[in-house]
Amino acid sequence: MPIAKAELEAQRLETWVYLFDQGDRRMVDLLGGKGAGLAEMSRAGLPVPPGFTITTAACNIYYANDKLFPEGMWSQSKAALKVVEERTGKCFGDAANPLLVSVRSGAPVSMPGMMDTVLNLGLNADTLAGLAALTGDERFAWDAYRRFIFMFGNIVLDVPKDKLDRALEAAKARAGVQRDADLGVPELRAVVDRCKEIIFGETRQNVPDSPEEQLRMAIAAVFDSWMNRRAIDYRRLNRIPDGMGTAVNVQAMVFGNAGEDSGTGVAFTLNPNTGEPTLFGEYLTNAQGEDVVAGIRTPFPLQHMAEAMPDTYRQFLHTARQLEAHYQDMQDLEFTIERGRLWMLQTRRGKRSGRAAVRIAVDLVNEGVITRREAVQRVGPEHLEQLLHPVVDPAAKAVTLATGLPASPGAASGKVVFSADEAAAWAAAGEKVILVRHETNPDDFHGMVAAQAIVTARGGMTSHAAVVARGMGKCCVVGCDALQIDYGQQLFTAGKVTVTRGDWITVDGSTGRVLLGEVPTIRPELDHYYHTVMKWADEFRKLRVRANADTPQDAQTARRFGAEGIGLCRTEHMFFEGNRIEAMREMIMAPNAVSRREALAKLEPLQTQA
């Protein structure tokens, strides 16, 4: 929405850039959720790589000024970068001791996966050599450069991701390896060269060698992502105003791809599916953050980290509990481990299923952390609606095609489609569809909204598909590696069974099963957590609730859910079933008063019968 001229003038007088230690959690509207979280963790002395945040106000001015940075923003950004250089002991663009940075979005309201990120920014031929010499690991340096070229080409220069993906997949096929981490220096050089050719062919420009120009273009690209299709779709779905804008976080890089003693992960301090009080998350060794979120590789559960890196795991567990206690709510955390050292990259209020929202609220009251009133306010109507989502009828006979990870509960049936655009088109035509992908990315969001459920062959419980589906309350199964998907033929195989575009499947997001055909579902049983929250709601509500019920079955259902009476009853609806409709038709079509009285005599007792 357009911002008033007076407000824009006031914003022009503001500071556009804040170092992490200059902000706090109260500045979320200005610094965005990610920036405010980084500021709060920095002030608490947690291990956060230094950096700075460009405000949401700068984003709004950028759009008001025909996509020109507000006056003073760039100079403030360069001054803040000098402070980051001092704190890291590195220099941005220096060939011998290069500082690399990440550039990330961060709106005031969490919009997971909807906007853009660029990692390893600051690399060129000179700084690449310096990074290799500094770390003594040429392969690591080339892997970082490959990732930077890929992300800059896709995010900043708008080169289609699948074209760049094919360059990497072709290199792995030629080398006979499955993992990116198994590619050597010669193969990585070839991937970089091929990606540069693709980028130039698509855009007729090269990735700039100047780190300063890279940074300027990346900041603009993150601002631009506020108005990309997926971000707009997400805001419409969640009723988020356009005038919020996004902040931009520029942060010194730490490297999870520095070897097997390094890694990256995403975690929730409580289970976001069920609300159970257990640390929930995943991580990958020798990887960077986008590898986990994008679902390109299926990660390890955090328990694996407890065995492989016990000291780091204990530190992370302590930090997670500290942040949960500080914010008095479940937190969504991102972290990187660089050569055994833990770094925190994000804390924010975690997206959760309806079932989890209700349980977490009740448990926090029982633990004395929040009040009953606060608990009721934390459970939204969309959470309660999710509790009524159907589940697969356990008595139904069903053929299990594959079993993956139960990323978001519920059950849904629909026709298989393999693209987001087709999911949206078929749904608009009234079809129920299931979106099946290798993995989803932010550009698939509109198709995920349209689909009844989402299935991915790759990815984990914290992948893009899992987090976005959970936030929407949509059934989702990820990591179904038994599915062999062929986009070209528009089919997938599971063992000896072939399922083609338009065939029906059922997704059981509570167990992780993908079932053949349309399988019957039933309504779930509501547990004591639900009834507890609803009882507390009765203590604070001002309105009484009566039901719109036309049949005895409707009335019984309404009473079961707590309605205090019938507010509207349209009696004609009582006569729409079985032989009752015949009596109603006789009354309507009666040719005279006598026939009408006879028909009414048949109808009268039906109004008192169940």
Q: What is the pLDDT of residue 3?
A: 45
Residue 476 burial by CB count (10 A; 0-12/13-18/19+): exposed, middle or buried?
Answer: buried
**Spatial contact of 100 and 144, defined as CB atoms under 8 Å apart:** yes
Distance (Å, whole) CA 279 – CA 271: 7
Q: What is the pLDDT of residue 610?
A: 52
Q: Enumerate the domain spans of the chain.
A: 5-253, 254-352, 354-386+527-542, 391-522, 543-606
Residue 581 burial by CB count (10 A; 0-12/13-18/19+): exposed, middle or buried?
Answer: exposed
Q: At CA 303, angle to CA 300 and CA 307, rounded to 5?
A: 100
As beta bridge partners, residue 332 has 268, 348
Nearest to 118 by CA among 131, 105, 129: 105
Torsion on CA atoms 116, 121, 124, 130, rounded to nearest 10: -150
Edge-to-edge strands of the sheet including 341-349?
300-301, 280-285, 263-268, 331-338, 341-349
Helices (H), 89-204: 125-135, 138-151, 161-175, 185-203
Provide, rounded to the nearest whole percent, the portion of the chain with pLDDT above 90: 66
Question: Token pair of 44, please?
Answer: 């608490």
Distance (Å, whole) CA 261 – CA 304: 13
pLDDT tens-digit series, residues 128-183: 999 999 889 999 999 999 999 999 999 999 999 889 999 999 999 999 998 888 89
pLDDT tens-digit series, residues 449-488: 999 999 999 988 888 898 888 888 899 999 998 999 999 9
**Residues of the chain below pLDDT 70:** 1-13, 293-296, 572-573, 576-578, 609-610
Numbers of helices and strands, H then E, in the chain: 23, 27
Nearest to 63 by CA among 251, 278, 189, 246: 246
Question: Token pair of 31, please?
Answer: 């610094």
Distance (Å, whole) CA 226 – CA 81: 23
Residues 6+ apart with CB under 8 A from 163: 198, 202
Distance (Å, whole) CA 268 – CA 279: 6
Q: What is the CATH number of domain 391-522?
A: 3.50.30.10
**Spatial contact of 226 and 62, defined as CB atoms under 8 Å apart:** no
3-state secondary structure 360-386: HHHHHHHCCCCCHHHHHHHCCHHHHHH
Provide, rounded to the nearest whole percent, the portion of the chain with pLDDT above 70: 95
Report domain 354-386+527-542's class.
Answer: mainly alpha
Q: What is the pLDDT of residue 13?
A: 52
**Spatial contact of 339 and 261, defined as CB atoms under 8 Å apart:** yes
Distance (Å, whole) CA 465 – CA 442: 9
Q: What is the pTM assigned to this prediction?
A: 0.76
Q: Please give the full DSSP string across 278-308, using - where no structure is assigned.
A: S-EEEEEES--HHHHHHTSS--EEHHHHHHH
Residue 267 burial by CB count (10 A; 0-12/13-18/19+): exposed, middle or buried?
Answer: buried
Distance (Å, whole) CA 134 – CA 140: 11
Q: What is the pLDDT of residue 281?
A: 92
Residues 6+ apart with CB under 8 A from 417: 423, 426, 433, 434, 435, 436, 447, 451, 501, 502
Helix-helix angle 593-606:580-588, to 10 degrees: 150
Distance (Å, whole) CA 115 – CA 230: 8
Q: What is the pLDDT of residue 609?
A: 66
Query: In CATH, what is the architecture of 5-253?
Result: 2-Layer Sandwich (3.30)
Q: What is the pLDDT of residue 8?
A: 43
Torsion on CA atoms 566, 570, 571, 572, rounded to nearest 10: -160
Rg, the chain, Cα only: 28
Report domain 254-352's class.
Answer: alpha beta
**Spatial contact of 83 and 19, defined as CB atoms under 8 Å apart:** yes
Helix-helix angle 73-88:211-225, to 10 degrees: 120
Distance (Å, whole) CA 282 – CA 427: 33
Distance (Å, whole) CA 170 – CA 297: 17
CA 156 and chain centroid, separation: 21
